[in-house]
């Protein structure tokens, strides 16, 4: 009896069923010390008991899912703790077992990994977009603590994608889009090519099933002739290697469907143009042999100019290394060739998970792990004051890098996205250098900071202690790190300056009224803040400094001074955001309604009077800029407002009654009507109406305009 069977035979009752455990144990035996495998089988026993009676939508026992996730990670040679966490990753969320039970049975490290994976799905959100962004944000933060969390999550997503057929079509498409937008790029960014390819093809199949089937059929038809062609080229290259005494494996690369689809969509190519490109991978023993083989294949087939890339000397951001070249093959067909060592091939397929020895210090600085950790550490700098959706968009930029490589004056290589500027370079070196940069030299020549960089340039950043980021840089930078750092600095400066300005404005206004901030007292200030819906004095001062509230009105409110002679409706103070508890009226010169762009004007004896921004009377008030306040309408206003329209009609009997009837049919009451002018052929009528908002008014005007006796309808504005 083999080792796996022996372990299985010791499991009690229902846990003895295989569910893929035999295959998992055999994989684990190939690289883990034998003493660690029984503990993993114990995790299976614990998980099987916890999930007993639960099934997937496909009808399979639930435990088959975590075992499949563990199998993916075992094939990447992850450590015992990660495999154990994979088996238990749904236990806390879907069963009665607690995190404390896992910690007690399997240790702190496994409990932290399980918690890192399971907590991502426990948060409630107001919208689907927020849910996706927030869970993505938390996943990234968890990754910064331990990369194994995202490896478990990626394997979890991969198995879910393989069993997506049991889900409703809407759910399949949503999950497929999320996989293509988020998870496949993360796998690519971490260099896990095998998982990235599978996630992309599964996402493509579920998001665009018809396109997938068309491409799949076309590839199957083309494979017969391709097989002979690939065999002939492989034999030719093999003979050349043998002639030089070089040991190497030659593999004809399979094209994956999503890669073909993307190439067709992005480069507007026909299917035949994409399918007829042949790919080969040559794997040799050492780096020097890679370059020797490159010369050899260039001697057999002519290389295409400008199509050679050396990712061995300058690896990609995710640690990928290989020589790429494109050749003119037989009959002029293009041949894509990748040349790499066996270690490079392992990194290309498994990325950050290759050579995985999580606790071994001598491996802590290995290229793929180091590069992945550098990227993950940078994500911490994006955790500024932005929203989760903004964070998601920032990180998406870095997940799809079209890369360039530039050099510092000392020869250090800085990888950047294509189109990056010298400011991106400054922030890539360090946030402080970006915040204080004033100029840059590219290949020793001074250039503007908005200059886009190209491959191989040497860039020197010039800084000054007194310099600060320029908001205009946001129009030019490409990297998420630069954009996030600039925005954060702007927000901090704006808030600090606004608070100081608001404090001074309010104190000066209070002194004009015979009081001061000190005399207001903490009790009155606290009560006022509660009535205004603010958390602290800093928020009030910031709003005053930004012009969102007027200091004279706020001062009167704090002192309890009422304006006299106000005739505005009592509920008006609830309609304009930023004027809560203050007297608000509406200009009778322009009759503003919800949906209009508006400004507020501090009028003596009337409080704040709201005008449309295109009101003709605004020119009379321009010289009193200190009395203006920026206003916005509150959402979901449930009341009516006065609005005026002018109707030009043919001078026919009964036309006024017909227009009035149409207005009533549109749900509007007429407050006032007057005849402005009357000629032999036409009349100009003015109606003062009750409307809810701009949409309601537009519907009224469309209804009137359709009348056969109406020439023109317009909205009055002085």
Q: What is the model's pLDDT at position 484?
A: 86
Q: What is the model's pLDDT at position 361?
A: 41
Residue ranges of the chain whose pLDDT lies below 50: 1, 13-16, 123-124, 355-365, 563-574, 580-581, 718
641-715, superfamily in CATH?
A: ACT domain (3.30.70.260)
Q: What is the model's pLDDT at position 392?
A: 67
Active centre residues (catalytic)? 93-94
pLDDT digits (tens, 9 = 90+) for 653-710: 888 888 888 888 888 888 888 888 777 778 888 899 999 888 899 999 999 999 988 8
d(CA 375, CA 621): 54
Token digits of residue 313? 């000397």
Burial class of residue 427 in the structure, from the number of CB atoms within 10 Å of its CB (0-12 exposed, 13-18 middle, 19+ buried): buried
- Please say whether the beta carbons of 5 and 23 come within 8 A: no
Q: What is the model's pLDDT at position 273?
A: 66
CATH number corresponding to 3-210: 1.10.3210.10
Q: What is the model's pLDDT at position 481?
A: 87
Dihedral, 388, 390, 395, 399 alpha carbons, nearest 10: 110
Topology of domain 218-353, CATH:
Beta Polymerase; domain 2 (3.30.460)
Question: DSSP letters along 175-200, please?
Answer: HHHHIIIIIHHHHHHTT-HHHHHHHH
- Please say whether the beta carbons of 420 and 479 come within 8 A: yes
Q: What is the model's pLDDT at position 83?
A: 93
Q: What is the model's pLDDT at position 143?
A: 61
- Strand 584-586 versus strand 607-612 pairing type: parallel
Where does 342-424 show beta strands of DSSP type E? Answer: 403-407, 413-417
Q: What is the model's pLDDT at position 565?
A: 35
Q: For residue 161, give the nearest of 214, 212, 201 by alpha carbon.
A: 201
Largest CA distance in the chain: 111
Burial class of residue 76 in the structure, from the number of CB atoms within 10 Å of its CB (0-12 exposed, 13-18 middle, 19+ buried): buried
Rounded to the nearest 5 degrees, what angle is found at the Cα of 679, between the Cα atoms of 674 and 681?
A: 115
Which CATH number does the domain 368-489 belong to among 3.10.20.30, 2.40.110.10, 3.30.950.10, 3.90.950.10? 3.10.20.30
480: region left, alpha or beta (phi > 0 left; psi from -120 to 50 alpha): alpha
d(CA 405, CA 414): 6
d(CA 565, CA 115): 63
- Please say whether the beta carbons of 334 and 304 come within 8 A: yes
d(CA 80, CA 110): 9
- Please say whether the beta carbons of 671 and 642 come within 8 A: yes
Residue 177 C-alpha from the chain's centroid? 13
- Please say whether the beta carbons of 179 and 202 come within 8 A: yes
d(CA 259, CA 188): 13
Per-residue CA distances from 348 to 179, 244, 317, 345, 453 (Å): 20, 26, 12, 5, 28
Where does 551-633 show beta strands of DSSP type E? Answer: 576-577, 584-586, 598-603, 607-612, 628-630, 632-633
Q: What is the model's pLDDT at position 77?
A: 86
Q: For residue 297, give the nearest of 347, 359, 250 by alpha carbon.
A: 250
d(CA 206, CA 176): 6
- H helical segments located in 119-192: 128-145, 147-162, 169-178, 184-189
Please name the residue that has the structure tokens 């759910």. Answer: 171
Please name the residue that has the structure tokens 């994979």. Answer: 86
Per-residue CA distances from 76 to 198, 282, 353, 683, 707 (Å): 14, 22, 6, 84, 74
Q: For residue 159, give the nearest of 87, 264, 233 by alpha carbon.
A: 87
Dihedral, 523, 525, 526, 532 alpha carbons, nearest 10: 150
Please name the residue that has the structure tokens 């057999």. Answer: 300
Q: What is the model's pLDDT at position 566?
A: 38
Question: What are the domain boundaries of the chain?
Answer: 3-210, 218-353, 368-489, 491-633, 641-715
Q: What is the model's pLDDT at position 364?
A: 43
pLDDT digits (tens, 9 = 90+) for 124-138: 455 666 666 666 666
Sign of CA dihedral 118, 123, 125, 130: negative
Question: DSSP letters along 404-457, please?
Answer: EEEE-TT--EEEEETT-BHHHHHHHH-HHHHHTEEEEEETTEEE-TTPBP-TT-
């Amino acid at each position: 009896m083999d080792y796996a069977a022996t372990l299985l035979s010791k499991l009690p009752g229902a846990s003895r069923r295989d569910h893929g455990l035999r295959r998992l144990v055999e994989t684990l035996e190939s690289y883990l010390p034998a003493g660690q495998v029984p503990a993993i089988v114990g995790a299976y026993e614990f998980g099987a008991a916890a999930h007993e009676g639960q099934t997937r939508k496909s009808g399979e026992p639930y435990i088959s899912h975590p075992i499949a996730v563990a199998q993916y990670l075992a094939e990447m040679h992850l450590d015992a703790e990660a495999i154990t966490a994979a088996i238990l990753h749904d236990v806390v969320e879907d069963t009665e077992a607690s995190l404390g039970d896992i910690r007690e049975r399997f240790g702190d490290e496994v409990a932290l990994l399980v918690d890192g994976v399971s907590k991502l799905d426990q948060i409630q959100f107001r919208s689907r977009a927020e849910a996706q962004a927030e869970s993505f944000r938390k996943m990234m933060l968890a990754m910064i603590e331990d990369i194994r969390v995202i490896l478990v999550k990626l394997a979890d997503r991969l198995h879910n994608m393989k069993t997506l057929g049991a889900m409703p079509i809407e759910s399949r498409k949503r999950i497929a889009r999320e996989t293509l937008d988020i998870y496949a790029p993360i796998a690519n960014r971490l260099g896990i090519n095998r998982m990235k390819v599978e996630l992309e093809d599964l996402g493509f199949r579920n998001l665009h099933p018809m396109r997938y089937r068309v491409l799949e059929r076309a590839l199957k038809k083309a494979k017969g002739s391709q097989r002979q062609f690939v065999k002939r080229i492989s034999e030719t290259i093999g003979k050349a290697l043998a002639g030089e005494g070089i040991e190497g494996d030659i593999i004809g690369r399979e094209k994956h469907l999503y890669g073909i689809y993307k190439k067709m969509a992005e480069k507007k190519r026909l299917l035949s143009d994409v399918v007829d490109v042949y790919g080969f991978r040559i794997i040799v023993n050492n780096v020097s042999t890679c370059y020797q083989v490159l010369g050899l294949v260039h001697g057999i087939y002519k290389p295409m100019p400008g199509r050679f890339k050396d990712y061995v000397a300058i690896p990609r951001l995710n640690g990928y290394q290989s020589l790429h070249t494109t050749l003119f093959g037989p009959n002029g067909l293009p041949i894509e060739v990748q040349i790499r060592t066996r270690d490079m091939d392992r990194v290309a397929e498994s990325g950050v998970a290759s050579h995985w020895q999580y606790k071994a210090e001598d491996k802590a600085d290995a290229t793929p792990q180091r590069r992945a950790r550098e990227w993950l550490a940078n994500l911490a700098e994006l955790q500024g004051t932005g929203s989760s959706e903004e964070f998601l968009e920032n990180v998406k930029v870095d997940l799809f890098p079209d890369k360039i490589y530039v050099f510092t004056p000392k020869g250090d290589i800085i990888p950047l996205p294509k189109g990056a500027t010298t400011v991106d370079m400054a922030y890539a070196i360090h946030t402080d250098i970006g915040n204080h940069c004033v100029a840059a030299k590219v290949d020793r020549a001074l250039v503007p900071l908005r200059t886009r960089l190209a491959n191989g340039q040497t860039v020197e950043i010039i800084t000054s202690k007194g310099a600060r980021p320029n908001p205009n840089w946001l129009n030019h930078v490409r990297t998420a790190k630069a954009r996030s750092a600039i925005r954060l600095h702007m927000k901090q400066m704006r808030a600090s300056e606004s608070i100081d300005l608001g404090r001074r404005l309010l104190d000066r206004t209070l002194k004009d009224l015979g009081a001061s901030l000190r005399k207001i007292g903490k009790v009155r200030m606290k009560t006022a803040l509660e009535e205004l819906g603010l958390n602290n004095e800093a928020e009030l001062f910031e709003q005053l400094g930004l012009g969102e509230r007027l200091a004279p009105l706020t001062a009167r409110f704090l002192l309890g001074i009422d304006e006299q002679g106000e005739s505005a409706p009592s509920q008006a103070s609830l309609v304009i955001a930023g004027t809560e508890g203050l007297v608000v009226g509406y200009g009778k010169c322009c009759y503003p309604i919800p949906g209009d762009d508006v400004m507020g004007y501090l009028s003596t004896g009337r409080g704040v009077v709201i005008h449309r921004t295109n009101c003709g009377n605004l020119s009379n008030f321009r010289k009193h800029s200190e009395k203006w306040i920026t206003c916005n309408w509150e959402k979901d206003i449930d009341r009516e407002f006065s609005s005026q329209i002018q109707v030009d009609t043919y001078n026919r009997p009964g036309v006024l009654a017909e227009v009035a009837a149409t207005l009533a049919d549109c749900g509007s009451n007429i407050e006032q009507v007057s005849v402005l002018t009357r000629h032999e052929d036409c009349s100009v009528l003015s109606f003062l109406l009750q409307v809810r908002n701009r949409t309601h008014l537009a519907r009224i005007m469309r209804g009137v305009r359709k009348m056969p006796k109406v020439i023109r309808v317009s909205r009055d504005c002085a």
